[in-house]
Structure 1
Amino acid sequence: MAETQRRGRRIMMTPEEVDAFLTAERTCRVATVSADGAPHVSALWFAWDGTSLWLYSITRSRRWAELRRDPRLAVVVDTGEDYGELRGVELTGTAEFVGEIPRTGAPCRELDVPERLFARKNFGLDEMVHDGRHAWLRLTPEAITSWDFRKLAQP
């Protein structure tokens, strides 16, 4: 269960708003920790199943290597141009590696839902296409922080 947000209650999203936002948005920024302790941030598409964020990552990426060494990560999904339009969600926790590495499409019940969600959202397909270069990471957040600056304009 994710930690409850303590600050910014006026602009935080409700659980239903967080769910709708993560379901609709496509791109996130994933922060990992390098071997020397420096942060590394990269953009990635994702799927949200209502409980976990699913990341389909290239297995030969710096991100993948860093998460293999240290599975802690933070993910930010945000949108908005003007200050009063800014909305976003930060999720933090530990990456879990799910399915074969790299993913070739072998049966894996745990991936049925995220692969269907990801394929529909990002490719308009009913089934996932596997290229043998990517694999799945699951982030079940330990903490979620959200903001919706549009709420500042409300009385």
Structure 2
Amino acid sequence: MTVTEQRRGRRIMMTPEERDAFLTEQRTCRAATVSADGTPHVGALWFCWHEGSLWLYSVTRSKRWAQLRRDPRLAVVVDDGHEYGELRGVELSGRATFVGESPRTGAPCPELDTPERLFAAKYFAMDHMPHDNRHAWLRLTPTHIASWDFRKL
């Protein structure tokens, strides 16, 4: 995978270590998809960050899921901060990949072992994933990443 470099804002760009820590600690992202007529759709999702990929747990009967089945292009923003000097965030984009069965019932899928463990600990304080037969996994291994941390100004 080739990730395009951030050209502007290098002074406020997060280091890879800062970015990984930020994406690990944050809880909510906004994911943007595109409809057949080109209209964007943005919605909030929970996620986990693992080994350079964003793992998103989405309802399979959602507009997002249907749009990604037709066109896998996906852009995601994770941000934080209240005052201007506190703003920080990461924008990731690329193509979504569907992982595991849809909807997820918990059938063995070694590729999901670590993301599900991380997700369950982060959101449910559990060591196993509580499958509801409504959600399934999307993986975004970004081809473009931009970050900012205004606290560096």
TM-score (norm 1): 0.97
Matched, 1:54 2:55: yes
Aligned to 2:79: 78
SS at match of 1:63: helix
Rounded to whole Å, the distance in 2 between the matches of 1:63 and 1:77 is: 17
- 1:47-99 alpha-carbon deviations (Å, 9 max, x no partner): 00031000000000000000000000100000000000000000000000000
Residue-pair matches, total: 152
Aligned to 2:110: 109
TM-score (norm 2): 0.98
Identity %: 76
Aligned to 2:145: 144
Aligned to 1:123: 124
Q: Gaps spanning 5+ residues in structure 2: where?
A: none
Aligned to 2:7: 6
Distance apart, 1:2 and its partner CA = 1.5
Q: Could you tell me which amino acid in structure 2 is paired with residue 147 of structure 1?
A: W
Q: CA RMSD in A?
A: 0.5
SS at match of 1:11: coil
Aligned to 2:66: 65
Q: Gaps spanning 5+ residues in structure 1: where?
A: none
Aligned to 1:41: 42
Kindly report which structure 2 residues correspond to 1:20-31, keeping only aligned pairs within 5 A, or say none.
Answer: 20-31=21-32
SS at match of 1:113: helix
Rounded to whole Å, the distance in 1 between the matches of 2:28 and 2:98 is: 20
Rounded to whole Å, the distance in 2 between the matches of 1:17 and 1:34 is: 33
Distance apart, 1:112 and its partner CA = 0.1
SS at match of 2:115: helix
SS at match of 1:23: helix
| Deviant stretches of 4+, over 6 Å | none
